[in-house]
Amino acid sequence: MADETRTSGPGESSGGSESRGPRGGGRPGGGPREGGGGRKYFRRKKVCKFCVEKIESINYKDVRLLGQFVAESGKIVPRRLTGVCTPHQRRLSTAIKQARNIALLPFAGRA
């Protein structure tokens, strides 16, 4: 269940000869930072999107919706950033996990 547990080998060797290729961060081109202070997320009042739109059940097939709450890395964006309320965040994460299971969304930490 916990896909965040990394099974790192016994003992991290301090010798740095073991490098496994480039880290799989899907960053094509690697754009430069956005100039100025980049606040990307909703900077409005943080109101739960689902409460506002009165979405009670979150459909796990709605990838476009779920995608808004999944970071590029595949991780679920914490609700501190999205403003989603706790009960909805819970449903959201459940939906995201279901979506992952049917390969609609990537798993976190995979690259």
Residue selected from 46, 51, 68, 74 as contacting Zn ion according to rule CB under 5 A:
51
Q: What does 19-47 look like in DSSP terms, one character per residue?
A: --SS-----SS-PPPPSS----S--S---
Residue 7 has which token pair? 């099974």
Residue 98 has which token pair? 């279901």
Residue 40 has which token pair? 């990307």
Rg (CA), the chain: 17
Residue selected from 58, 70, 88, 92 as contacting Zn ion according to rule CB under 5 A:
88
**By the rule CB under 5 A, 79 interacts with Zn ion:** no
Residue selected from 55, 85, 104, 108 as contacting Zn ion according to rule CB under 5 A:
85
Angle at 77 between CA 74 and CA 81, to 5 degrees: 155
Q: Minimum distance from CB of 100 to Zn ion (Å)? A: 22
Q: Which residues inside 1-40 make contact with Zn ion, applying CB under 5 A? A: none
Q: How many residues bind Zn ion (CB under 5 A)?
A: 5
**By the rule CB under 5 A, 55 interacts with Zn ion:** no
Of 52 and 103, the one with the shorter C-beta distance to Zn ion is: 52
Contact residues: Zn ion, CB under 5 A: 48, 50-51, 85, 88
